[in-house]
Amino acid sequence: MAVRFDLPVILFASILVTVFSAIAAADYPDPCTRPCKEGGKRMVCRYRWVLENYLTLSRACYDCPARANQTDCLRQQCVAADGVQRSIRTINRQIPGPGIQVCEGDTIEVEVINQMVMSEGVTIHWHGILQRHSPHMDGVAMVTQCPITASSKFTYRFRADDPGTHLYHSHSGLFRGDGLFGSIVVRQPKSRDLQHDLYDLDLPEHVLVMTDWSHRPVVDLYAVFFHSRKFESQSPDSILINGRGVYPPTREVLVNRTTMTPFAQFHVQANRRYRFRLINAGALRCPIEFSVDDHHLLLIASDGRPFVPFSVTSVLMFSGERYDFVLQTRASESGVYWMRARGLDKCERDSVQQFAILKYTDHITQDVIKYPDAPMNYDTPTTQDEVRFNQWFLKKSDEPEPDEHAQITNMTSLEPDDDSLRNDPDQRIFLEFAYRLRPNYHFHDPVLYPARGAGYKTVSSTMINNISNSLPPAPILTQLDDLQPDTFCNFDTMQHRNCSHEFCECTHRVVAREGEVVELVIYNSNDQDGYTHPLHLHGHSYRVVAVHRFTEKITRERFIEMDRKGLIDRRLHAAPYKDTLPIPNGGFIVLRLKADNPGTWYMHCHVALHAEIGMALTFQVNKADGDLPASPPDFPRCGVWPIVRHADDVDTNSDVKGSQDENSSGNLGEHFSDGSWIFGVLAALVFMNIVLVVTSAILCKGKVDSSRSRDLHVHTCKSLRLQGAKARTGCVVSEDERTTLI
Ligand SMILES: *[C@@H]1O[C@H](CO)[C@@H](O)[C@H](O)[C@H]1NC(C)=O
Ligand SMILES: *[C@@H]1O[C@H](CO)[C@@H](O)[C@H](O)[C@H]1NC(C)=O
Ligand SMILES: *[C@@H]1O[C@H](CO)[C@@H](O)[C@H](O)[C@H]1NC(C)=O
Ligand SMILES: *[C@@H]1O[C@H](CO)[C@@H](O)[C@H](O)[C@H]1NC(C)=O
Ligand SMILES: *[C@@H]1O[C@H](CO)[C@@H](O)[C@H](O)[C@H]1NC(C)=O
Ligand SMILES: *[C@@H]1O[C@H](CO)[C@@H](O)[C@H](O)[C@H]1NC(C)=O
Ligand SMILES: [Cu+2]
């Protein structure tokens, strides 16, 4: 009996000791992770990443979490996650992938080696890095480059010109949700950091990457969501913080279990000000509310851009957003506190959440083990001076008013006004984001189980201006000449189609010229009970000049009418910069940017599913001479194969009726009356193509060279083993090679 009581205590002891020593031992071996000095050396920071299909709780985990010692969970190449086994995708067998931390002006060079079997192509996008002068390095499959096919490699090389907290993730199919993501932090010398006096310490380990986490591969989750007979949730099961957590994260589990995966831990000392960098790398519909028990968060920057600081008790973050905050630690403490990551929106119903530990370290408590005593309920403990930042974005019509006094409008940019804030933009682009029922052949069969059939579960389509984006058969930036002009479409070119009823699918593109000031009016016409979609634009940060929500339905005409009457209040002074911003359900956002970065820039909802099935477009910025930037020499190209688009071959105009008259509902029944299985197979293939970017059919030439997989693999494993703690950073190149001056 006594043993039973003591066991958890021993367990707690072992966890904290091992986590702490692991952090201490790592000691930041990456020479690029350094204090940044004005006039300091610029470095070339090289990394080699091997992307693989992998497993949580693999052989590398030995007995994790099967006995009362967590050491095994912290072994190299052990992805413990939240203690549930599933198949994953990894970079160097880590989740998150290796963090990159450099100084502004350094050059980042990442050799990406695709060792994922089954022929799937992959790319890596550097979310928040604007890729000025390097648009070909943006990493969007079929927009800026060909996917890197299996057993091939590609080297990304770009200057770290955008200071702040960023992330990287795969940008082809849904791999991001399976583990292909990580952090990039670009630091500045004190002299260039407008906020350096707000904090004492900006430590490499104070980066928190939060992600929603499903216990099955995201592609399975979506297959079920789209094709199952009854409604199935697309919600994640869990959240991971820096790849760690416990499932389910409850006090009961903490007390009853003799084995458990470790929580992420962050160490601080009393009476200091720490800069923390918070990233939501999620792939699903799970905005995350982050808070630290008994501490305030002084928000200072978002998406890499500084603003006038203000203090909150929690920050709500959508997928792709980053917030930096300063944590003022308590005066004389030696305690432990919960850091809470609470999933809202779809995640609220299932109380999806995770915890991490904030631990005050001092000579007395360093080795004494304790979990916070505070409750581990889904509901955050309320405090008197509660300020929940950005709850406004999630308001539903039947909910009480959220905290209107802590929202995006409270952000005042610290950077000087620029041309984008002038009164009259050169171009105004209206974009309607919506989720509506269409006879979408990806999820329905117009005859066998039509979109509007009685008794069927129907699946809506995600669209911008009633167009579902599909990727072109060759990358727009590098192979524009290979693409038929009718590959592309937009609101104007689709006027001859009945897209308010039909399913309209094509490569959605809007065009601007270098130097133009563009105003984006983006509205979300699903009402207040609909979805709030996080909008991400590549290649540009934008100023947020207006955010508003309507009680009645919003349309393009209504906006124009209100604008004409002067009812749209634009903030043309000190408007904050963002690159990822929620579009409130039933509301609109007005954004301003100067199109000063020629290239093809993806603009999309950052919920992976929504983007992959159509809520995306390409914002093409032509150079002043009308051309796109020329590709670097020897840039990989891919073969152009015929596009398969259902709408091209078959007339979908029919607003298919119920199942009773299925045999007489238009052309489809006739065309395929004795072979509808072919249609099904075709539809399935197209669907797979879009969701996975299956590239086995695409022949890539040039720099993407076939590599002898076994050699590479052995080499990398060797490097990881030999370099010990150094391998934690994923940097497997010797110091000499890395410190090239540029
Ligand atoms: C846990 O196991 C490791 C290696 O197996 C060992 O070095 C360590 O002392 C153990 N810790 C405890 C608290 O038993
Ligand atoms: C956990 O332990 C408590 C008492 O300590 C008990 O009431 C509860 O049923 C246990 N839960 C599980 C899941 O075993
Ligand atoms: C946000 O701005 C409003 C209006 O100016 C103000 O009342 C509120 O206190 C601000 N909130 C914070 C957290 O600073
Ligand atoms: C899209 O279609 C809906 C009807 O399904 C219509 O109400 C809406 O105005 C259309 N949007 C645009 C931008 O044309
Ligand atoms: C668009 O399609 C719907 C449904 O098939 C039909 O009712 C409507 O009249 C069509 N509109 C136009 C302009 O063709
Ligand atoms: C539709 O056609 C199939 C085969 O051609 C037939 O078996 C079925 O009874 C028809 N259904 C209706 C509702 O007419
Ligand atoms: Cu969305």
Q: How far is the CA of 67 from the centre of ligand 7 (A)?
A: 41
Asked whether residue 735 is domain-assigned, the answer is yes
Question: Do residues 262 and 244 make contact, with C-beta atoms less than 8 angstroms apart?
Answer: yes
Cβ of 709 closer than 6 Å to ligand 1, yes or no, is: no
Cβ of 397 closer than 6 Å to ligand 6, yes or no, is: no
Cβ of 495 closer than 6 Å to ligand 4, yes or no, is: no
Does residue 111 sit in helix, strand or coil? strand
Asked whether residue 641 is domain-assigned, the answer is no
Q: How far is the CA of 524 from the centre of ligand 5 (A)?
A: 23
User: 351 and 437: one domain?
Assistant: no
Instruction: Count Cβ atoms within 10 A of the Cβ of residue 415 and give its class: 0-12 exposed, 13-18 middle, 19 or more buried.
Output: middle
Q: How far is the CA of 335 from the centre of ligand 7 (A)?
A: 40
- pLDDT tens per residue, range 268-306: 999 999 999 999 999 999 999 999 999 999 999 999 999
Whole-number Cα distances in Å, 43 to 31, 36, 227, 275, 725 = 9, 11, 50, 24, 22
What does the alpha-carbon distance between residue 55 and residue 89 come to, in Å, rounded to a whole number? 8
Of all atoms in ligand 4, which is nearest to the CA of residue 463?
A: 1
Asked whether residue 316 is domain-assigned, the answer is yes
Residues shown for the chain: 742
- pLDDT tens per residue, range 460-472: 899 999 999 999 9
User: 253 and 341: one domain?
Assistant: yes
User: 138 and 209: one domain?
Assistant: no
Q: How far is the CA of 604 from the centre of ligand 7 (A)?
A: 8
What does the alpha-carbon distance between residue 693 and residue 308 come to, in Å, rounded to a whole number? 42
> What's the pLDDT score for residue 646?
61
Contacts of 498 by beta carbon, 8 Å cutoff, 6+ apart: 653
- Give, using CA atoms, the residue closest to atom 11 of ligand 2: 252
User: 176 and 264: one domain?
Assistant: no
- Supply the pTM of this predicted model: 0.84
- Give, using CA atoms, the residue closest to atom 4 of ligand 1: 71
User: 135 and 223: one domain?
Assistant: no
Looking at all shown ligands, the one closest to residue 559's CA atom is 4
> What's the pLDDT score for residue 231?
76
Mean pLDDT of the chain: 83
Question: Do residues 378 and 508 make contact, with C-beta atoms less than 8 angstroms apart?
Answer: no
User: 273 and 208: one domain?
Assistant: yes
587-594: strand order across its sheet: 461-464, 427-436, 517-524, 587-594, 542-549, 577-578
What does the alpha-carbon distance between residue 164 and residue 659 come to, in Å, rounded to a whole number? 55
Cβ of 558 closer than 6 Å to ligand 4, yes or no, is: no
Cβ of 70 closer than 6 Å to ligand 1, yes or no, is: no
Q: How far is the CA of 535 from the centre of ligand 7 (A)?
A: 8
Cβ of 551 closer than 6 Å to ligand 6, yes or no, is: no
> What's the pLDDT score for residue 674?
33
Question: Considering its fold, how many domains does the chain have in total?
Answer: 4
> What's the pLDDT score for residue 76?
96
User: 93 and 217: one domain?
Assistant: no
DSSP 84: -
> What's the pLDDT score for residue 536?
98
> What's the pLDDT score for residue 28?
54
Domain boundary among 135, 159, 192: 192
What does the alpha-carbon distance between residue 527 and residue 549 come to, in Å, rounded to a whole number? 9
CATH label of the domain that carries residue 501: 2.60.40.420
Of all atoms in ligand 1, which is nearest to the CA of residue 70?
A: 1
User: 186 and 206: one domain?
Assistant: no
Residues with CB under 5 A from ligand 7 (ion): 533, 605, 607, 610
- pLDDT tens per residue, range 34-43: 999 999 999 9
Question: Do residues 20 and 366 make contact, with C-beta atoms less than 8 angstroms apart?
Answer: yes
DSSP lists the bridge partners of residue 740 as: none
CA nearest to 140, candidates 181, 169, 179, 109: 169
Q: How far is the CA of 253 from the centre of ligand 2 (A)?
A: 8
What domain range includes position 448? 419-622
Of all atoms in ligand 6, which is nearest to the CA of residue 659?
A: 13
- Give, using CA atoms, the residue closest to atom 14 of ligand 2: 256
User: 291 and 431: one domain?
Assistant: no
Looking at all shown ligands, the one closest to residue 558's CA atom is 4
DSSP 62: T
Cβ of 85 closer than 6 Å to ligand 5, yes or no, is: no
- Is-cis flag, bond preceding 262, omega within 30? no
> What's the pLDDT score for residue 366?
53
> What's the pLDDT score for residue 273?
98
Of all atoms in ligand 1, which is nearest to the CA of residue 18?
A: 11
DSSP lists the bridge partners of residue 433 as: 464, 524
Asked whether residue 271 is domain-assigned, the answer is yes
- Give, using CA atoms, the residue closest to atom 3 of ligand 4: 500
Domain boundary among 602, 622, 642: 622
Q: Give me the helices (H) in 151-271, please.
A: 218-227, 251-256
Question: Do residues 278 and 310 make contact, with C-beta atoms less than 8 angstroms apart?
Answer: no
Q: How far is the CA of 682 from the centre of ligand 5 (A)?
A: 26
CA nearest to 434, candidates 458, 460, 464: 464
What does the alpha-carbon distance between residue 313 and residue 685 come to, in Å, rounded to a whole number? 48
Q: How far is the CA of 446 from the centre of ligand 6 (A)?
A: 14
What does the alpha-carbon distance between residue 264 and residue 276 come to, in Å, rounded to a whole number? 14
User: 424 and 443: one domain?
Assistant: yes
Asked whether residue 453 is domain-assigned, the answer is yes
Cα dihedral 144/149/155/160 (nearest 10)? 50
User: 459 and 515: one domain?
Assistant: yes
Looking at all shown ligands, the one closest to residue 389's CA atom is 3
Q: How far is the CA of 436 from the centre of ligand 4 (A)?
A: 9
Asked whether residue 249 is domain-assigned, the answer is yes
- Is-cis flag, bond preceding 248, omega within 30? yes
> What's the pLDDT score for residue 706?
35
DSSP 140: -
Instruction: Mark the ranges of the chain whose per-residue pLDDT is less than 70.
Output: 1-29, 67-68, 119, 362-369, 380-381, 453-457, 645-742
Asked whether residue 83 is domain-assigned, the answer is no
Does residue 353 sit in helix, strand or coil? strand
Asked whether residue 514 is domain-assigned, the answer is yes
Domain boundary among 149, 168, 192: 192
User: 186 and 204: one domain?
Assistant: no
- Is-cis flag, bond preceding 29, omega within 30? no
CA nearest to 277, candidates 163, 389, 165: 165
Residue with tokens 């124009």, as numbered in its chain: 560
